[in-house]
Amino acid sequence: MSLVNPVNYKIRIEPDLQRFKFWGKVEILAEAKGPTKEIRLNVLSLAVLRCSVSEDGVNKEARFLVDPQKEELVIFLPHEVSGLVSVLIDYAGEISDNMAGFYKSKYVLGRKESYIAVTQFQESDARRAFPCFDHPSRKATFDLELVIPAELVAISNQPVLKEENLNEQRKLVKFVQTPKMSTYLLFFAVGMFEFMEKTNKTLLRVATTPGKVKQGTFSLDFARKCLDFCEQYYGIKYPLPKLDLIAIADFAAGAMENWGAITFRENLVLHDPDTTSRAGEERICTVIAHEIIHQWFGNLVTPADWKFLWLNESFATYFGYRLADHYYPDWDVWGRFLYTETETALDRDALWENFPIEIPGGEHVVINVSTAPIIYSKGGSLLRAIEGYIGEENFKEGLRRYLKEYEYACASSHDLWEAFGQASDIPVSNIMKSWVEQPGFPIVEVERDSNQLILKQERFTYLPGKSAQKWRIPISVRIFFDNGGVKTLKALLEKGSMAIELEPGVTAYKINHAARGFYIVKYADRENLEQLAGLVKQKSLSPEDRWGIQRDLYALVKRGDISLDYYLSFLNNYSKENDFLPLMSIATNLHHAYLVVGEAKGERIEAVGRKIFENALSLIGCEPKPEEKRSISMLRDELLWMAAMFGSKEAQNFGEAKFSALLKGEKIAPDITKSIMKIGAFYGNERTFEWFDEKLRSSQSEHERINILEALGCFPEKGLIERAQQYVLDNVPERNKFVPVRIMAGNRGAVPLMWEWYVNSISRFEQLHPVHYERVVAAIVPVCGLGKEEEVREFITQYIEEKGKAKQVLKLSLERLEVNSLMRKNNK
């Protein structure tokens, strides 16, 4: 059968926001590349009422078949057709509450509950709203009409073309035709929206439910900067006449790049000066930048298949930080990039339960806690490495070539490598194939032999196993001389091993200088490691290099190559550390060790952490300062909580005093509110719980609500933990249930109670959005399954066989449990 592709969709939808149903008509103009007797469309959870084929202006009824298993609608044509063909479909559906397809989102105005209806189609949920060719490569134009109550507002990708009053109660809203685009990018919403707008070359608007639009000023200003940067850097104007930033209360993801109508969780677009911390403000910027970059990477140029999805998400991830750094260079966003993206990706990619960035076979990709660190974070980290290797100008020129050649079309990884190669005269494709077409990453073991460095590579995994994989690794070595001189060497490790010649007088060397490379380093030469330790102590190394050394050491602890005791001793060299990147990584590693081997080594972990964190707090202070670096403010919030959890009296006293002020209705700095609430819970009681409950019910700020939900996971006493668990199930909105669960799973007091709670409440958790259910599983299994590994393994194996839910994430979580179990065994 020949391939049939869409040309245009004419869609008319009439929603009922009282009964939460909708009726639709879609006319699809398609082109058959050769003779065909049927058209296969995607459809899910829709009642198809009638199908017809238009011939010479006459609609003829057509037989059809819906296959729920394949999520397909097959329309049988009256006779064989080639070339253009037009099919018309009448259908009906429900406006769901599952945050996918066409769904409802609740908001409260005064004491009255109201709803808006919105869409979320990525990755393949457009089929829940209208029958379509639901694949990113099947691009078409869209003409959308909505029949809605006269008092409501409709939003879509394009501006309104015209409105017609049908009667006193209903009106018809027609939108300008979209550019050629994929189904997952179509968007429409109906409800009571308020707007704040700014017009320059492009109409920019922030849309919110009533009473919140004033919180859109910050985002509106930054969105304008994002558009200006992208148009200048990519050399292509933003192609639509308007761009909306739409705040939605009930939203499964963080944001979605619908072309011309970007949707966000409220706390990722609304900025409340009273509750938004500087960390929250920076997060707003990077998310807005990420989604606006998608207007070029993903919307203008779309992956040719699911296997190339990383082309969307890696670029948006990398440039989200790049754009924030362009306008706010004092924010030190690259430290956050390495901690949030690169460190996360390395930890995920060190598992055998894995896949390459470019998924073979073009299988459908679901973004979740298993796939996102590879597609977003590893991909973004590799782009940073490519830019460092070919140079900033060549990188920029390559991107311009790529976007211009494939605008309004689809592209593959090879197309990108070719563009970079043409711009730089460097065979980028030869290097990058090994990074995107195979899973995992290498460990580079280095040893000094007189005046040579001998480098060897193999695949790095936490658990034992054999692999013949090899990578082409750009190597950067920082060389330190006995006369105080410093030099950087570059090489390309193409095979299993290589030698690098050293000049006389070398006293120390640091592999993977500036942390551009995506690999782990193991120094077989302990003498060199001790020399590096001295440079760390003196802070003679950059924050990136100080971070990389201890990060690699902790990876080797988890793998079993070195002991936790050695790592803890090495941390003595960080006693004067006050930089965000190394300290945040140390805090994460010590927290992990505390959970995994706390019974055997808890006191030593507490003592090491307490010393480092108290020293850092003495350097930066416990109170935020208006003029300080943003990264310091973000670091303080984490250090206060970690120091208090590890028994610091100074942090405890400061936290309790500040929390007492909150209880009295006094304001404290938003930059420390999260840590203060967590400390309040950690040392709290029933009265504390009641205060959180009252505050959560009355708060109008999603930033504040998230802080409270995190604090609910920090009670250490069994009775309050069990109360918090039930509270999560009964009172926390579906969109946010995973937030306190994730914190509880990292609370040593709650860990023994979590697995049984999960098993007993599994039917409730299964009702969550799949991404949120997977976050719950990924939080609980790896740590809370320790000590009951066989029981957990048997339960999950049977669960996968019977239900198949969250299969990928459950398997990943079981491997993480095995890694943690091995680490516990090795460090008794």
How buried is 1 (Cβ within 10 angstroms: 0-12 exposed, 13-18 middle, 19+ buried)? exposed
Q: What does the alpha-carbon distance between residue 123 and residue 134 come to, in Å, rounded to a whole number?
A: 9
The predicted structure's pLDDT at residue 602: 95
Give the closest residue to 441 by CA, choosing from 551, 346, 507, 365.
346
Active site residue 291: yes
Three-class secondary structure assignment of 547-595: HHHHHHHHHHHHHCCCCHHHHHHHHHHHCCCCCHHHHHHHHHHHHHHHH
75 pLDDT above the threshold of 60: yes
pLDDT (mean) for 490-508: 96
CATH 1.10.390.10 in the chain, residues? Answer: 302-436
Q: How far apart are CA 248 and CA 70, in angstroms?
A: 31
Residue 667: count of CB within 10 angstroms of its CB:
10
pLDDT of residue 304: 86
Residue with tokens 């830019």: 387
Quote the percentage of the chain above a pLDDT of 70.
99
pLDDT attached to residue 362: 62
Q: Is the CATH number 3.40.50.1820 carried by domain 1-189?
A: no
Level-2 CATH architecture, domain 442-542: Sandwich (2.60)
Give 389's strand partners.
none
Sign of CA dihedral 530, 444, 557, 641: positive
CA 281 to chain centre: 17
Looking at residue 1, its pLDDT comes to 41
Q: Is the pLDDT of residue 497 over 50?
A: yes
* Fold observed for domain 302-436: Neutral Protease; domain 2 (1.10.390)
Mean pLDDT of the chain: 95
Residue 576 has pLDDT above 80, yes or no: yes
Burial of 721 (0-12, 13-18, 19+ CB in 10 A): buried
Residue whose C-alpha is closest to residue 711's, from 663, 666, 759, 764: 663
Dihedral sign of CA atoms 813, 819, 825, 828 in order: negative
pLDDT at 652: 98
CA distances from 399 to 280, 392, 698 (A): 30, 11, 48
- What is the band of 392 on the pLDDT scale with cuts at 50, 70, 90? very high
Q: Which of 495, 503, 553 is nearest to 529 (CA)?
A: 553
The whole-number pLDDT of residue 453 equals 97
Q: Please name the residue that has the structure tokens 């505390």.
A: 594
CA distance 457 to 455: 7
Evaluate whether 555 touches 593 at the Cβ level (below 8 Å). Answer: no
Identify the active-site residue in 94, 257, 282, 291: 291
Q: Specify the domain boundaries for CATH 2.60.40.1730 within the chain.
A: 1-189
Residue 13 has pLDDT above 70, yes or no: yes
The residue whose two tokens read 């919403």 is 189
Measured CA to CA, the distance from residue 137 to residue 180 in angstroms comes to 11
Residue 819 in contact with residue 787, Cβ under 8 Å?
no
Sole residue written with tokens 């091993």: 497
- Cβ–Cβ contacts within 10 Å for residue 333, how many? 24
Q: Please write the tens of the pLDDT for every residue from 338-353.
A: 999 999 999 999 999 9
DSSP 206-227: EEESTT-GGGGHHHHHHHHHHH
Pinpoint the residues of the chain covered by CATH 1.25.50.20: 684-828
Q: What pLDDT is recorded for position 523?
A: 98
Classify domain 684-828 by CATH architecture.
Answer: Alpha Horseshoe (1.25)
Q: What are phi and psi of 757, to 5 degrees?
A: -60, -45
Q: Enter the pTM of the model.
A: 0.95
* pLDDT in the model for residue 816: 98
Among 251, 255, 266, 265, residue whose Cα is nearest residue 103: 251
Residue range(s) of every CATH 2.60.40.1910 domain in the chain: 442-542
Residue 360: pLDDT band (50, 70, 90) is confident
Q: For the chain, what is the total number of helices (H) and then of strands (E)?
A: 26, 27
- Over residues 626-681, the pLDDT tens digits come to 889 999 999 999 999 999 999 999 999 999 999 999 999 999 999 999 999 999 99
Q: What pLDDT score was predicted for residue 595?
A: 98
pLDDT of residue 2: 55
Burial pattern 74-88, b for ≥16 Cβ within 10 A else e, equals: bbebeeebeeebbbb
Q: Is the pLDDT of residue 363 over 70?
A: no
Tokens read off for 576: 């004067």
Contacts of 823 (CB under 8 A, 6+ apart): 557, 558, 560, 564, 596, 597
- Where does the pLDDT of residue 108 fall: very low under 50, low under 70, confident under 90, or very high at 90 and above? confident
3-state helix, strand, coil split of the chain in percent (to 5) is 45, 25, 30
Q: What is the pLDDT of residue 365?
A: 73
Dihedral Cα 4, 9, 10, 16, nearest 10 deg? 110
